[in-house]
Structure 1
Amino acid sequence: MERQLVLTPNEKKVLRSLQSRYASIDELASAVGISPEAVLQASYMLQEKGLAQVMEKATDVFSLTEEGKRYAQEGLPERKCFSMLHGPTSLEDIKGQMGDAAGIALGWLKKKGWARIEQGRVVPLGAPVGEDERLLRRLLSNEACGDELTEEERDTLKVLERRGLVTSSTEKAFFTRATEEGLTCAKGIELTEEIAQLTPELIRSRAWQKRPLRRYDVHAYAKPAPMGKRHPYVRMLEHMRSIMLSMGFTEIRGEIIQSSFWNFDALFQPQDHPAREMQDTFYLDSEEPLPPGYERVKEMHEHGGDIGSEGWGGVWSEKMARRHVLRTHTTAISLRYLSEHTEPPVKAFCIDRVYRREAIDATHTPEFEQLEGVVMDKGLSLKHLFGYLSTFYAKMGFEEVRFRPAYFPYTEPSVEPEVYIEGLGWVELGGAGIFRKEVTEPLGIRHPVLAWGLGVSRVAMLRLGLKDLRQLYQPDIEWLRSEPVFGR
């Protein structure tokens, strides 16, 4: 069944005024007696119905900056400089008279061929009136539209724009004309006052029975109304937190500023390890006292303690261990927690921000979120670690998980979990392992500790289909509106 054509009062008014030739929106507004904005809206609605055509015309408009106005009145620097030349003139004299403007003036003198410089002197060659000077004077009295300019004048204005003397903007004008169908339709239009909304007074007086009611097109698409919702990255962090809690873990938090002792030394990371260098770590000009029992960590570094380890040798620096850093991982929080809870069972996790001196690009930022998990209990082994990680990744929606041998200074054995992503293959998503005895023994921990760390932002990129990590932190309102309420 053919749908009946429905026109609003403004569409009817505009259509009755349209002809086969284009008319400007301002002309139509004056003729119809409604605002130009209402005319333009009605014109586009008529265009969707095939009754009108809307043409948009963009025009470049050039005008002077404040500096350009000054030069239009006083003359360009090169013109002022040329007026000083009554013959070959030394560069020192010109610089003395023109000051900071001398460099600009001399550069343009040479570029325009008005003078040459030889043996420390400026030799005039003749300075005709330039096209740029003529345009500056013209713009001083009025703006110039692109339609009025020759190609040569446009090129000159581009040069003046690069010099910061001219600015350009684009002005848009709209024109509308009726189609053949629109002209035919306009002949049968009658303008009558319609009721757009029923009020109690219209109903009580029955006046609505004597006037036509405005028709509404129930098939027309309504304008999307974006809803308020949480940031997709925040939703993902909350989802990870709920998974860990559902698996029986306790959430822990800690300070952003940590001592090097907890961030590096307690993890049996040697004090000459490359990760401690300034290019990886944000160091602060402050310190904190070493905790009681730090001597056991010192002994482990220097001699390997009494567990048969060789340690790292050398002299362990207490001053270096006291120095504050912005935490480079959340393992410092987990280790402090374990040092205060040395009796099993312990299941804890931390989701928080960490800091490293990284160059910002599509896959790196100097601050990012990390998920850290630790489990300490009697008789734990690598198969238990695989079970925890496989369960976590499955709940995150990754169906295929595998583990590849790896090396980390504070775990042995160590693995890197990988998940399979369609179109990308196997993607590494963190590091995991069992804490070495060099880490646990000095802290009084006598049972195995499973530990893993996960870069949350990398998971977010995969789940949200992003190619640039920075998009997670930018206020891109269109992307935020387009993301579904429930993550992918």
Structure 2
Amino acid sequence: MAELTLNEKRLLAALAKEKKADAEHLASLLNATPEAVVQWGHLAEDKGLAKVERIVKKIPTLTEEGIKYRKSDQLPETQILDAIKTGTTLTDLQKNDAFKIGFGQLRKRGLIQLNGTYVVKVPNASTEKENSILLCFDETGKLHADPALKFGEDYNQSIKEFVKRGIARESETVQNLLTITSEGTLRVNAGLDIREEIGTLTRDQILSGSWKNASLRKYDIKKLPKTVYPGKSHPYQRLIDEMRQILLEMGFTEMHGEIVQSAFWNFDALFQPQDHPAREMQDTFYLKEDAPLPEGWECLRDMHEHGGNTSSTGWGGKWNPGKAKQCVLRTHTTSLSIQYLAAHPEPPVKAFCIGRVYRREAIDPTHTPEFEQLEGIVMDKDVTFRHLLGFLKEFYQRMGFSDVRFRPGFFPYTEPSVEPEIWVDGLGWVEMGGAGVFRQEVTDPWGVKCPVLAWGLGVSRVAMLRLGLKDLRQLYLSDLEWIRNSPVHAPAAAGRKA
């Protein structure tokens, strides 16, 4: 026979009298909290002595709009339907305050027809049922009757429509019902020792020997304790923090900027031509707002049109200031790098940014319309392409990827350009982003005379490799089970090439 705790015995004794009761009522009888009663109930349930039933109910209440209709005792569609008489015209109905909403609802449900300028009801047109359900609420917005019993499924459909229209809202209430089983009743009838139990012996009890007559709490040394999940950051956030810490230790300064950028900084300042495919609507989220051009924008115009004061010939054609003023959700964090350089044109500069960017991508296991990007720049006298490779290799090795290689690449605003790759066991070489030396067309308009090393790396791709994921979307899900079971430190899934 399974041993019972004192609280389980007290609960069974109360249930033997009540037979079935909710947790709040039992809590008042046992001088405890409802949460404690549910916990004791589950313990008794594990032994087959009680049953705990969790009942979730959705309780509707009226919104401010719904309360307004309730005070007038009529839905807008009911008001309009009542106003339709023989010879009523559309112009007549438009004078009614409820016309805009009520007329639309009647047309949607097919309860009225337009014959020229006249409005007529269809046969048996009625909104009585919906209006009666509205009247089941009082003028404060709370239910004062149980319409489900009277209207059945029509009630559920009407409430769903009320919620959809913003007339009502639903909130969930949870009730825990506890019932004693036949085995529990037999256990109570056999007698329960409900004397106060002692869980810890005191010095006086030991010296006096009174412990011998005390009711000692029994412990099951074979039973595992309840799993405790400590609070911790999301695995993806921990990885971002790790990247940030590595770059700070490498002597970089973190830069920040707005999510909404002008096309000037997002595209033009990076020497992307205004007819570049990446600037089209299918790749970029454009906003209706415009942003003013910064001081000295004319130098950038000249760079695009004929190369300015450099040996470049530019892109030719006519550069459009209006197109540069358009606001976009930033498509990369490189827009922050060029602004940082414009504000800090003198060497040395070592800065990075980890931020979210936005592109019009179809959602699938490897693409999302928003993702994080790591951006870095180094500007100083005599820095070279070899320094860039060194920075990237150092960063990835600190992230736990031991094998790093580089292959030539092309980007509109860097020359030479390179794409770093890391070796991952089971996958082979994986491309991680892009890097290069900013072209003179990018730096010259802002008075930057020293070489600038720049790179942009996909944070989410690193996260997938480190966390062993196959679906990018899991990084953004509220999956508590995954978060709880993920280790605080996830080593890189990389290894030496065989």
Settle same-fold status: TM greater than 0.5. yes
Letter matched to residue 292 of structure 2: D
Distance 1:351 1:199 in 2: 61
TM-score (norm 2): 0.68
Number of residues paired by the alignment? Answer: 464
After superposition, give the CA deviation of every residue in 1:91-132 in whole Å (9 maximum; x if it has no partner): 322333x2343651574389474x543232234556678333
Deviation at 1:431, TM superposition (A): 1.4
**Structure 2 unaligned runs (5+)?**
492-498
Distance 1:173 1:338 in 2: 62
Distance 1:297 1:112 in 2: 62
| Corresponding position of 2:45 | 47
Deviation at 1:198, TM superposition (A): 5.1
| Corresponding position of 2:495 | none
| Corresponding position of 1:150 | 152
Distance 1:408 1:14 in 2: 72
| 1:460 and 2:430 are equivalent in the alignment | no
Specify whether residues 470 and 479 from structure 1 end up closer, same or farther in structure 2 by C-alpha distance, changes over 3 A only. Answer: closer
After superposition, give the CA deviation of every residue in 1:388-422 in whole Å (9 maximum; x if it has no partner): 54443233223454433211244444221123456
| Corresponding position of 2:225 | 221
Secondary structure in structure 2 of the residue aligned to 1:350: strand
| Corresponding position of 1:370 | 374
Distance 1:128 1:242 in 2: 67
Aligned counterpart in structure 2 of residue 236 of structure 1, from 214, 236, 239: 239
Contact 2:306–2:315 at 8 Å: present in 1 too?
no
Pick which of 61-70 and 181-190 moved more.
Answer: 61-70
Distance 1:119 1:8 in 2: 80
| Corresponding position of 2:4 | 7
Distance 1:285 1:95 in 2: 44
Deviation at 1:304, TM superposition (A): 4.7
Contact 1:78–1:109 at 8 Å: present in 2 too?
no
Deviation at 1:57, TM superposition (A): 3.8
After superposition, give the CA deviation of every residue in 1:360-412 in whole Å (9 maximum; x if it has no partner): 88656779552425487879666x75565444323322345443321124444
Distance 1:381 1:152 in 2: 72
TM-score (norm 1): 0.69
Secondary structure in structure 2 of the residue aligned to 1:74: coil
| Corresponding position of 1:108 | 106
| Corresponding position of 1:352 | 353
Aligned counterpart in structure 2 of residue 430 of structure 1, from 430, 433, 443: 433
Distance 2:441 2:129 in 1: 80
**Structure 1 unaligned runs (5+)?**
none
Deviation at 1:155, TM superposition (A): 3.9
Deviation at 1:301, TM superposition (A): 2.5
Distance 1:379 1:102 in 2: 68
Deviation at 1:41, TM superposition (A): 2.5
| Corresponding position of 2:196 | 193
Aligned counterpart in structure 2 of residue 417 of structure 1, from 404, 417, 420: 420
Deviation at 1:46, TM superposition (A): 0.6
| Corresponding position of 1:287 | 294
Distance 1:101 1:200 in 2: 82
Distance 1:102 1:149 in 2: 28
Letter matched to residue 228 of structure 2: P
| Corresponding position of 1:395 | 398
Contact 1:280–1:356 at 8 Å: present in 2 too?
no
Letter matched to residue 225 of structure 2: Y
Specify whether residues 193 and 128 from structure 1 end up closer, same or farther in structure 2 by C-alpha distance, changes over 3 A only. Answer: same
Letter matched to residue 212 of structure 1: S
After superposition, give the CA deviation of every residue in 1:152-195 in whole Å (9 maximum; x if it has no partner): 45445544554555555554443333445434443242221223
Distance 1:59 1:311 in 2: 71
Distance 1:131 1:456 in 2: 56
After superposition, give the CA deviation of every residue in 1:12-68 in whole Å (9 maximum; x if it has no partner): 022234469961236972895445714332211111233322233445555656636
Specify whether residues 435 and 52 from structure 1 end up closer, same or farther in structure 2 by C-alpha distance, changes over 3 A only. Answer: same
Secondary structure in structure 2 of the residue aligned to 1:287: coil
Letter matched to residue 177 of structure 1: T
Contact 2:272–2:413 at 8 Å: present in 1 too?
no
Aligned counterpart in structure 2 of residue 407 of structure 1, from 406, 410, 415: 410
Letter matched to residue 43 of structure 1: G
Contact 1:25–1:36 at 8 Å: present in 2 too?
no
Distance 1:443 1:35 in 2: 71
Secondary structure in structure 2 of the residue aligned to 1:190: coil
Distance 2:199 2:369 in 1: 55
Letter matched to residue 130 of structure 1: E
Deviation at 1:11, TM superposition (A): 0.5
Contact 2:85–2:120 at 8 Å: present in 1 too?
no
| 1:176 and 2:157 are equivalent in the alignment | no
Deviation at 1:135, TM superposition (A): 3.8
| Corresponding position of 2:338 | 332
Distance 1:280 1:153 in 2: 42
| Corresponding position of 1:301 | 307
Specify whether residues 89 and 427 from structure 1 end up closer, same or farther in structure 2 by C-alpha distance, changes over 3 A only. Answer: same
Letter matched to residue 53 of structure 1: K
Secondary structure in structure 2 of the residue aligned to 1:285: coil
Letter matched to residue 42 of structure 1: W
Distance 2:471 2:395 in 1: 24
Letter matched to residue 143 of structure 1: A
Contact 1:63–1:143 at 8 Å: present in 2 too?
no
